[in-house]
Structure 1
């Protein structure tokens, strides 16, 4: 395949589908459409996929899809680790959490994998299809309309502005979606009481167990092992970051070490607030995923909170459902608005149900404290009930987290020739 050349300023490109956003939803959909013989362009505004603070948990539902596509072994080679169960450390005591060994999937575990490696893998395999392209450093700046019909996007690329005309534009550009604001869709906010502070701490010593989170003195800490450092997240009350800054960096470092003393050797890496990234947590959804020529999926349609680590996997499920429903109409040039609405009809119910579960968890875990940096307030009755129902809850939670509420499978056809096949014709 010839090396991709960025479009020149003023160019006008025609394709069957343009996907805005090179995250898990966008690239998975682009890969599946390219595999199904549909001309597709994926737009990614950054020069690469290397972002420190993105979701990293890949659950059995997504691993099953990779197995169905023949990509599982390669993906497992880039995964940092996998766990058949998870646990919570509460005030220094380990509490067993969800487990996945009972799931009807090939992989009965979750993996932690750098998201940039996952996305690079999808982009690399997508590029094997002659009708698939990823435009890096290409930001969609606006929709192109013909009456009420969306017929393309305006793009700011490395060589200047250009246009992509398409039968379908898919907004997969995440919770901060510019496309959904451009389309004027209604956004329903759930109201979330937390934010997350993400930062790196150099690894010195071993923290290799399957602990999902650690709670001590009302504070929660998440750690993801990156080999020589931990990607670390501290849960805080929404809007309390400025208050924490007023307490000072030393107080912040001490708070982290109080929760997990094993980080004491590397915590001095945090020598500036510039090394602490604020993730403003959102939990919302739009009421209309589709209009003529335009569809939203993933966080652009339903932004999830970090609870359960389900966001990436729900986004991938959206992408698979969209490909299953839309690949043939796109390929045959018969796409209608009713086809797009079928995607919402299938994927909206599980997304909203999951959001209701997340709201419940937020209310029970994060609703009772007003002290900056101390968002966790777990009542004694809730702890007692959790202990009594632990076996049932662990199994049920494992199914919900591991598979989601509506598991998708690869049903769209594979009709795109590989480069060698194409050149032989």
Structure 2
């Protein structure tokens, strides 16, 4: 029977940082990640000043700085019919050296954390390993059941401590002991990308249109865009077609008149 001291479910930023910290403290830790790698698009690629300070505290500032990244120092909002951009948030005015938001592909950050953690003898990262349920004894979680997505085999991993870091689809959310309380959200979000030119604004740009609100994140050669649409309106918006969507989007961003990929 497989055993470990701490089983971390999910190899995202939370799971990998926890695994690294525990391993550095000499704790035997196993991180189970259901995917074979970290390559997923439109994830949380914003690394905020507080996280930058954390990476510095972990001794990873130099390695992180070497990753390809874009720094966001301000938040801009178009005002009036002409859409003139005004700065409404100055991240650069924050005290300390980390007065910016770093835009870094999450897979690069996770690869860095995994490489650093794998240097510790008590750390193990198992990819393509999907946790399917928790092991329970007398009302207490004692480990997990998992499925190897490569071979299809199943197994059990017992642990003194099990930590669920598996995000929005977390198995722990369904445990009746937690008494999960859900709150309605009045909107959905469409994620898509638009090409960016050097003459475009820099940083984070918020847009206010008649049909929706949106935000555009400067990713260097493209914009990572989020459009907030009414809850449950996805099918209706898709039926209206991409051309109408882009017309409504560029109405709020008159300086953006180029093609799109997505949503």
Fold-level similarity (TM above 0.5)? yes
**Residues 20-419 of structure 1: matches in 2 within 5 Å?**
20-91=9-80, 92-157=83-148, 158-159=150-151, 160-182=153-175, 184-204=177-197, 206-217=199-210, 219-267=212-260, 269=261, 275-276=262-263
Cα 1:81–1:197 change in 2 (3 A) is: same
TM-score of the two chains, using structure 1 as the length reference: 0.57
Q: Structure 1 residues 94, 228: closer, same or farther in 2, change over 3 A?
A: closer
Tell me the CA shift for residue 84 of structure 1: 3.1
**1:226-279 deviation digits (Å, cap 9, x = unpaired):** 343322211111111111122122212222332334543332x4xxxxx42xxx
Divergent runs of 4+, >4 A: none
The whole-number CA distance in structure 2 between the counterparts of 1:100 and 1:221 is: 20
Q: Runs of 5+ in structure 2 lacking a partner?
A: none
Q: 1:205 to 1:266 in 2, by over 3 A?
A: farther
1:15 equivalent to 2:15? Answer no
Deviation string, structure 1 residues 62-113 (Cα, Å, up to 9, x no partner): 1111111111122122252213332222341323223344544431222111
Q: Call closer, same or farther: CA 1:227–1:84 in 2, change over 3 Å.
A: closer
Distance 1:82 1:127 in 2: 28
Q: Deviations over 1:367-389 (max 9, x none)?
A: xxxxxxxxxxxxxxxxxxxxxxx
Deviation at residue 147 of structure 1 after TM alignment: 1.4
Could you say if the C-alpha distance between residues 96 and 205 of structure 1 is closer, same or farther in structure 2, counting changes exceeding 3 Å?
closer
Q: CA deviation at 1:204?
A: 4.9
After superposition, the Cα gap between the structure-2 partners of 1:250 and 1:100, relative to the gap in structure 1 and judged at 3 Å, is closer
- Aligned-partner SS, 1:28: helix
1:116-143 Cα offsets, whole Å, 9 max, x none, are 1111111111111111111111111000
Deviation at 1:173, TM superposition (A): 0.9
Where structure 1 has 5 or more consecutive residues not aligned to the other structure, the ranges are: 1-11, 270-274, 277-425
Query: Does structure 1 retain, via aligned residues, the 8 Å contact 2:48–2:100?
Result: yes
Query: In angstroms, what is the RMSD of aligned CA positions?
Result: 2.1
CA contact (8 A) 1:63 1:72 kept: yes
Is the helix fraction higher in 1 or 2? 1
- Output the CA distance in 2 between the equivalents of 1:57 and 1:50: 16
Taking a change above 3 Å as real, the CA distance of residues 121 and 185 of structure 1, as seen in their structure-2 partners, is same
Distance 1:188 1:214 in 2: 32
Q: Cα distance, 1:184 vs. partner?
A: 4.4
What is the CA deviation profile of residues 317-366 of structure 1, one whole-angstrom value per residue up to 9, with x for unaligned ones?
xxxxxxxxxxxxxxxxxxxxxxxxxxxxxxxxxxxxxxxxxxxxxxxxxx
8 Å Cα contact 1:64/1:105 also seen in 2: no
Whole-angstrom distance in 2 between the partners of 1:102 and 1:206: 24
In 2 relative to 1, CA 183–244 (structure 1 residues): closer, same or farther, beyond 3 Å?
A: same
**Which shows bigger deviation, 199-208 or 243-252?**
199-208
